[in-house]
């Protein structure tokens, strides 16, 4: 049977199996206490229906991205994935969704806790801090490029290689890590309690570049988001005195 359909029970069951990976599912959305479950999220994104091949590709892609996120960022706090899920759905047909999925998974694995970079959270990627900083450098060329568009993912892949080269040379800012520590090149603490406090304050003050809790994301780059985050951390007493 052809035409528009919804998620099958099999696909719903696949998504429900992901729930234990998301822990408390904290959200930065002002109107909800928790991020939606993967099944709720998929039903929201595909509410208009779709052909079976697209629905299957979307479900498999969302499943794979969430598993890569949970594996690479086991301490991740905020699980607002509405906007990235919508970007996956909007990528096109099954082949385009598979390509999108592979790239996002590779970035999670490449920057996460099990990589040499060993960043603790995916927040800078999914809430748009990396993207906003990138656009600000060349707004005339980049302002029309959205946070999950191919040119920005290209940049992140190149940036990963640059960071690995800096680590190999034991750069002052990106040095080799000792023991089990996480990488923190920022001037403020990113321990879980502080990370949560800081980003909840930023969300209340509407200072998050990408509202990942909205299907449209409302991406904004034209405020100095990185500086505003540093200033907010200082105001909250989260600055690391030893940092330059």
Is the residue at 243 inside a domain?
no
Is the residue at 38 inside a domain?
yes
Is the residue at 62 inside a domain?
yes
159: left (phi over 0), alpha (psi -120 to 50) or beta: alpha
Question: What confidence tens digit (pLDDT) does each residue in 112-150 have?
Answer: 999 999 999 999 999 999 999 999 999 999 999 999 999
Is the residue at 2 inside a domain?
no
Per-residue confidence (pLDDT) for residue 37, from 0 to 100: 97
Torsion, Cα 32 35 37 39, to 10 degrees, reads 90
Is the residue at 130 inside a domain?
yes
Torsion, Cα 199 201 205 211, to 10 degrees, reads 30
The yes-or-no verdict on residue 2 having pLDDT over 60 is: no
Is the residue at 122 inside a domain?
yes
Is the residue at 244 inside a domain?
no
Mean pLDDT of 162-185: 94
Per-residue confidence (pLDDT) for residue 243, from 0 to 100: 41
Per-residue confidence (pLDDT) for residue 241, from 0 to 100: 55
Domain limits at 220? 9-235
Number of structural domains, the chain? 1
Question: What confidence tens digit (pLDDT) does each residue in 48-71 have?
Answer: 888 999 999 999 999 999 999 999
Q: Which residue has the tokens 């359909």?
A: 5
- Give every CB contact of residue 91 below 8 A, 6+ residues apart in sequence: 97, 99, 100
The yes-or-no verdict on residue 6 having pLDDT over 90 is: no
């Amino acid at each position: 049977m052809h035409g528009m359909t919804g998620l099958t029970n099999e696909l719903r069951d696949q998504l429900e199996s992901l729930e234990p990976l998301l822990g408390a599912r904290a959200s930065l959305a002002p109107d909800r206490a928790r991020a939606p479950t993967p099944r709720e999220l998929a039903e929201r994104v595909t509410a208009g229906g779709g052909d079976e091949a697209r629905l299957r590709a979307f479900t498999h892609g969302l499943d794979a991205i969430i598993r890569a996120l949970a594996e690479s960022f086991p301490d991740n706090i905020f699980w607002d994935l509405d906007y990235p899920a919508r970007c996956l759905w909007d990528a096109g047909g099954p082949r385009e969704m598979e390509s999108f999925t592979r790239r996002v998974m590779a970035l999670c694995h490449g920057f996460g806790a099990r990589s040499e970079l060993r960043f603790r959270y995916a927040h800078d990627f999914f809430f748009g801090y990396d993207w906003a900083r990138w656009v600000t450098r060349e707004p005339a060329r980049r302002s029309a490029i959205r946070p999950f568009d191919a040119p920005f993912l290209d940049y992140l892949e190149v940036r990963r290689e640059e960071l690995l080269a800096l680590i190999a040379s034991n750069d002052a800012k990106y040095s080799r890590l000792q023991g089990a520590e996480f990488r923190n090149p920022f001037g403020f603490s990113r321990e879980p309690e502080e990370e949560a406090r800081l980003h909840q304050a930023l969300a209340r003050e509407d200072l998050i570049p990408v509202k990942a809790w909205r299907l449209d994301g409302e991406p904004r780059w034209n405020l100095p988001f990185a500086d505003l985050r540093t200033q907010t951390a200082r105001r909250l007493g989260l600055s690391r005195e030893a940092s330059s």
